[in-house]
Amino acid sequence: MGSSSAHHGAVNGASADFGRRDLIRRSAALGLISVPGLGFLSACASSGAGDEDKAKAGKKTAKNPLAVNETAQMEFVLFDGGFGKEYAEDAVKIYEKDFPKAKVTFSATQKIQSTLQPRFNQGTPPDLIDNSGAEQMDMGVLVGKKQLADLTPLLDAPSYDDPARKVRDTLRPGIVEMGQFDGDPVWIMYYAYTVYGVWYSQKALDSLDAAYPETWDEMLAVCEKAKKKGMAGWTYAGKYPYYLPFSLYPMIGKVGGREVLDAIDNLEPNAWKHPAVKACFEAYYELYKKGYVLKGTPGLDHIQSQTAWAEGKALFIPNGSWVENESAKVIPADFDLAVSAPTGIDSSDAMPFGTIWASGGEPFVVPAKAENGSGGMEQLRIMLSEASSRNFTAKVKSLTAYNGGTDGITLTPGLKSGVAALEKAGDNVVNPRLQDWYVQLQKEQIGVGGLGEMMAGRLTPVEAINKIQGYADAAAKDTSIKHYKHQ
């Protein structure tokens, strides 16, 4: 029945909608109003399992702050990817324990879009979805078509562990903002948490008798030491050079301040011509000019570059915290994997050393037309508890959006290093949004067309910046793209 405007508002647009229908129905029964189309209205109401349950919210209690109907069915569809499904199945068991009369239907698939898009179109989506993977549904489109519920009620609910703290107060920096597209509301809850930065073997660094470099002069000195020992300073995914920004973007933020990254995300004119961008591009170009990049890197994909690095052919690689799991088979047992925030230029940088990029992954959504949206949110509230978070981290070697959940777990070297890097960063966590908002611009134009060409020596920093600014300007003028801005 198309998208009724009743679904545009609060999370339980569904209940509000139903409340209105009930009122009309009751008034009609009492003969207060004449409703010729009531039959049509009822038919339209139950686009699903003819389920009148959608109407009835449960009783709001301290244990049930989202007023979940405890007998309503709840359906949860998970992306079946690198994190597996066990962590979600474990969280479902807690839901079933809390609501023993509810039937929970849980499934995992890699084909999110082909399985679920038709159900969105029919108005019968599941109650909770992990919208991830190669077949991810386009978030911008779902938000634009008002097909997602606002998660503010979940964020404002008491947390699962401590009724005195709201869910939003238990989350890591940037998680809430990532779920927004144009200011409020919050449409997405990113459950996993990724630390981006410069990854290396602490053992290899120690063998050079060097500390991790905090200034660019120190970086060049470490790379020179490595070169003398027959080791390249850097390698990266040359075929997918959009990996370079994992360390380059936070470096730009460190050197020039967060506002430089915001201007880039906002596609502002000349954002790429800021002196901080130029300084950082020149610094990276120097790695190429001085021969500190592993020979043949421009031709390597992410797996080949990670393997060369794990084999000790290069000291540093820009990457995200999934690299520990993805490269587990090639990283030697005594490698002592570590991650650091990017090296800056010098003491005049706008932000301190330790400034890092970290942000959410695994986007969970509750559809606006879910039969049991409050049940979907309650399942997320359970997943954002300390126990569920700890379970995820122990099983998949990754942090969650919950700010904690690592006590009592033997952390792997990379994960331990990531936690330490976040502690060092404190509030100095940046979260560039370009790769979420403008996928093609980030991957093909900035990555391959600009940075990749510069690091292969085919463009100077100034040429690369001019080219990238041209791509950004074109994206800003392209009316077929929905544009987003930092508020």
Torsion of CA 85, 88, 93, 98, to 10 degrees: -170
Identify whether residues 434 and 400 lie together within a single domain. no
Reported pTM: 0.76
Alpha-carbon span 457 to 396, nearest angstrom: 38
How far is CA 297 from each of CA 7, 239, 250, 380, rounded to the nearest angstrom?
A: 50, 8, 22, 42
Identify whether residues 308 and 405 lie together within a single domain. no
Identify whether residues 106 and 231 lie together within a single domain. no
Alpha-carbon span 278 to 264, nearest angstrom: 13
- Which residues is 337 bridged to in the sheet? 201
What is the tally of structural domains in the chain? 3
Identify whether residues 384 and 279 lie together within a single domain. no
Q: How many CB atoms lie within 10 A of CB 275?
A: 10
Identify whether residues 75 and 170 lie together within a single domain. yes
What the block records as the tokens of 32 is: 């207060």
Residue 52 lies in a domain: no
Identify whether residues 142 and 80 lie together within a single domain. yes
pLDDT at 54: 57
Alpha-carbon span 103 to 108, nearest angstrom: 17
Residue 2 lies in a domain: no
Q: Classify 323 as helix, strand or coil.
A: helix
Residue 244 lies in a domain: yes
Look up the domain containing 29 and give its range. 8-46
Q: How many CB atoms lie within 10 A of CB 62?
A: 7
Residue 104 host element (H or E): strand 104-109
Identify whether residues 132 and 69 lie together within a single domain. yes
Identify whether residues 331 and 457 lie together within a single domain. yes
- Which residues is 429 bridged to in the sheet? 356
Identify whether residues 16 and 129 lie together within a single domain. no
- Using omega within 30 degrees of 0 as the cis cutoff, is the peptide bond preceding 185 cis? yes
DSSP 199: E
Listed in sequence order, the DSSP H helices in 68-185 are 86-98, 112-122, 139-144, 152-156, 175-178
> pLDDT tens digits for the chain (487 residues)?
333 322 233 333 333 333 444 444 444 444 333 333 333 333 333 334 444 445 378 899 999 999 999 999 999 999 987 788 999 999 999 999 999 999 999 999 989 999 999 999 899 999 999 998 778 888 878 888 899 999 999 999 999 999 999 999 999 988 998 998 877 799 999 999 999 999 999 999 999 999 999 999 999 999 999 999 999 999 999 999 989 999 999 999 999 999 999 999 999 999 999 999 999 999 999 999 999 999 999 999 999 999 999 999 999 999 998 888 888 899 999 999 999 999 999 999 999 999 999 999 899 999 999 999 999 999 999 999 999 999 999 888 889 999 988 888 888 999 999 999 999 999 999 999 988 888 788 888 898 899 999 999 999 999 999 999 999 999 999 998 888 888 7
Identify whether residues 467 and 337 lie together within a single domain. yes
Q: Which of 390, 410, 430 is the last residue of a domain?
A: 410
Cα three-residue angle 452-453-456, rounded to 5 degrees: 85
Identify whether residues 250 and 208 lie together within a single domain. yes
Taking phi over 0 as left and psi of -120 to 50 as alpha, with beta for the rest, 25 belongs to alpha
CATH assignment of the domain containing 270? 3.40.190.10
Evaluate whether 388 touches 87 at the Cβ level (below 8 Å): yes
Identify whether residues 124 and 79 lie together within a single domain. yes
